Amino acid sequence: MFAPYWGLYLKSIHFNAIQIAILMSVQPIMRMLSPTLWGWLADHTGKRLAVVQVAAFCSALSYLGVFFTTDFIGLLLTMTLMSFFWSASMPLVEAITLTYLGNRTALYGRIRSWGSIGFIMAVLGLGYAFDYVAITWILWAGVIIELGILLFARQIPSIKIPEHHTDDQPILRLLLRPKVLTLFCACFMMAVAYGPYYTFYSIYLVESGYTKSAVGWLWALGVICEIVVFFAMPWLLPRLALSQMMIASFASAVIRFLLIGWGVSSLPLMLLAQALHAVSFGAFHAVTMVLIHKFFRGRHQSKGQALFGSLTYGAGGMVGGLLSGLLWEHWGAAVMYSCSAIAAMLGLLLILWKLRGVTNT
């Protein structure tokens, strides 16, 4: 709901590009700041599931503030509070999932694909809806989704955290290993690259003449291709090195963002760009989760996932989102998405430098 349509809602209440970029960057900023706190709390108490459930309740409650303000400062405060709680869930659920799977991490993609299915339902359903109803109805869609998160957070099975020989090592020592640090830096660059995509892609398409339902289909196409990759991961992981899939992911991102920036007038090129989401995000995300599970084990799992979310998706998304406002305002979309391609290229060079040859064993 947020990635494709929240920017359109903000534009409808007359915010400019800089204000939209700031408000759309609140979630990545909170993903940078709060998961480490939540991960530490979960590992310290051993109650990952309880932390997820409390955070889901507080996120739903604080979201209600969007009904009471269309003021920039008011929305900034509301989204900051909601995102502080909302950002707790994903790293902890990732850790719970991978702990539950144990050595069967190749099956992670099939579980993660349900998030993609939810994404498709949201972008297609809301895309068609917004061709007929006002974009302000997005506020009620948010209530339904927040309540759904709260309901299903209470159904997640509890799982015991296994002990590991690295449990007594400080988390910083694990983080500063060369391969781990390189992975974090490369994924930070990928998140920077995606910042303009999540902030302005829908606005860019609508201003280029696409209907909101077409925007929904383009978002959905990318995620449909992503699901295919998620289900193929149990077949791909034994056959390809993790580093090979990471190289393919970053290379695909470079091509994809150049296509978006310079080929928006061509529907076939936009379809190709969205099909590349299968590799540039689907394979990328599945492989990085396997790598984080490989690098952070035992009682460090939640903190490792939280640090990864904070320093890559959070910090990178914040930088990419904020820069996108300036680039959009002063140089336009083509230059903005070219900068995305450059960021992805820098990530690719890091992978080639330090992570070539990393396998799933």
How do residues 257-276 score in pLDDT, each as one tens digit?
A: 999 999 999 999 999 999 99
- Residue 291, number of CB atoms within 10 A of its CB: 22
Q: 228: left (phi > 0), else alpha (psi -120 to 50), else beta?
A: alpha
Q: Give the pLDDT of residue 307.
A: 84
How do residues 206-259 score in pLDDT, each as one tens digit?
A: 999 998 888 888 988 998 998 999 888 888 888 888 889 999 999 999 999 999
Cβ atoms of 290 and 237 closer than 8 Å: yes
| 163: its two tokens | 């002990």
What string of pLDDT tens digits covers the 361 residues of the chain? 887 788 889 988 888 888 888 888 888 788 777 877 777 777 777 787 888 899 999 999 999 999 998 899 999 999 999 999 988 777 788 778 877 887 787 788 888 888 888 888 888 888 888 888 888 999 999 999 999 989 988 888 877 766 654 556 677 788 888 899 999 999 999 999 999 998 889 889 999 999 888 888 898 899 899 899 988 888 888 888 888 999 999 999 999 999 999 999 999 999 999 999 999 999 998 899 888 888 887 667 777 877 888 888 878 988 998 898 889 988 989 999 999 999 999 999 999 998 876 666 5
Q: Give the pLDDT of residue 166.
A: 52
Write out the E strands in the chain. none
- SS3 call for 351: helix
Q: Give the pLDDT of residue 163.
A: 60
- SS3 call for 196: helix
Amino acid at 232: A
Sign of CA dihedral 218, 310, 188, 29: positive
Sign of CA dihedral 142, 24, 349, 261: positive
Enumerate the H helices of 68-177 as residue ranges.
Answer: 72-86, 89-101, 108-129, 138-153, 171-175
Q: Give the pLDDT of residue 360.
A: 63
* CA 63 and chain centroid, separation: 19
Domains of the chain: 2-158+170-355 (1.20.1250.20)
Q: Give the pLDDT of residue 199.
A: 84
Q: Give the pLDDT of residue 276.
A: 96
Nearest to 200 by CA among 28, 333, 13: 333
Residues in the chain: 361
Q: Give the pLDDT of residue 205.
A: 94
Amino acid at 360: N
Spatial separation of the C-alpha atoms in residues 77 and 221, rounded to whole Å: 33
Sign of CA dihedral 228, 229, 231, 234: positive
CA angle 53, 56, 60 (to 5 degrees): 145
